[in-house]
Amino acid sequence: FRSGILSKSKPLSLEEVEVAPPKAHEVRIKIVATAVCHTDAYTLSGADPEGCFPVILGHEGAGIVESVGEGVTKVKPGDTVIPLYIPQCGECKFCKNPKTNLCQKIRITQGKGLMPDGTSRFTCKGKQIYHFMGTSTFSEYTVVADISVAKIDAAAPLDKVCLLGCGISTGYGAAVNTAKVEPGSTCAVFGLGGVGLAVIMGCKIAGASRIIGIDLNKDKYAKAKEFGATECMSPQDFKKPIQEVLVEMTDGGVDYSFECIGNVGVMRAALEACHKGWGVSVIVGVAAAGQEISTRPFQLVTGRTWKGTAFGGWKSVDNVPKLVTDYMSKKIKVDEFVTHTLPFDKINEAFELMHTGKR
């Protein structure tokens, strides 16, 4: 089968790979559609210290179950599924705690680019290829753990709902689960890429009355307004730091802010743009390894809250099928996030489009 294989700091190369049959509690999936995400690009760049090479990237995908290993009961061949980079085993203390979605059952092996038994299902020209984020969707076939798969509505268009495997779910959940945006509130969203747009959508659905989009790229403003932003601005248009501008224009600060870039300086600005006494800032973007956030402790002493979110706080196996249903019933947007659809062999072109912001 064909896969996009990555060697460190080089473009993806399309190679023929052998995808072994699923072992016990594993599922082999025929990937029908996959999306590209900045997390893939971060590892592709060679900057990710946890990156294992050579590797098959990709973590936003959708497909059809081709075969299952011994002991798999939740899915069967022919089922329509979305692979999950945050699994849900239902048994670990994280799964049993309603406060988190961070299942740890296969965390250690997944971080090493391996299946739960410590081996890989991918080989190319006789050499082992690593898995990525437990999903590896840049492949015509992939193998995942059975706790890393959500069965979804068979009628769902896979070239659209693959986005619910990461970006849209992450941003939407950041607003409705992590921040718990309230009706009538004022929100600021830093970074108007796919995740930022999903945050805006979540804020609007939650009833926010004012949603301020912030991005250096003004070409993104029209799309942000389509999703529900009431106004958009660029920090480059002001002499003052953007947090001061926001505090002034919102009578003391926003109720909720979201950092959707992965820039620690912007994370500070997002916190300091929050209202004294009750403002909540959510870190959604993933910063480069080794970077640290800073602010004055008085910002927190005086009532601001700093939070973070992964996959929007959704317990994955339970909620991804519901998110697909919400899309099918037009409660949430998905189609509008898709800007380009390319054949698999143009995958490097997809990364170039993402980096230029033309998406």
pLDDT digits (tens, 9 = 90+) for 64-73: 999 999 999 9
Q: Look over the chain and give the mean of its residue pLDDT values, rounded to a whole number.
A: 95
- Average pLDDT of 237-264? 98
Tokens of 232: 């958009």
Domains and CATH numbers, the chain: 2-165+315-356 (3.90.180.10), 168-310 (3.40.50.720)
Residue 127 pLDDT more than 70? yes
pLDDT above 90 covers a percentage of the chain that reads 90
CB 236: neighbour CB atoms within 10 A? 8
Per-residue pLDDT band at 41 (split at 50, 70, 90): confident
Distance of alpha carbon 147 from the chain centroid: 18
- Average pLDDT of 320-345? 97
pLDDT of residue 9: 62
- Average pLDDT of 166-195? 98
Per-residue pLDDT band at 359 (split at 50, 70, 90): very low
pLDDT of residue 170: 98
Nearest to 226 by CA among 245, 211, 207: 211
pLDDT of residue 358: 60
Angle at 337 between CA 279 and CA 346, to 5 degrees: 130
pLDDT of residue 209: 98
- Average pLDDT of 187-195? 98
Residue 6 pLDDT more than 90? no
CA distance 39 to 59: 9
174 burial type by CB count under 10 A (0-12 exposed, 13-18 middle, 19+ buried) = buried
Strand-pair category, 210-214 with 186-190: parallel
What pTM did the predictor assign? Answer: 0.97
Residue 356 pLDDT more than 90? no
pLDDT of residue 52: 87
pLDDT digits (tens, 9 = 90+) for 282-304: 999 999 989 999 999 999 999 99
pLDDT of residue 43: 85
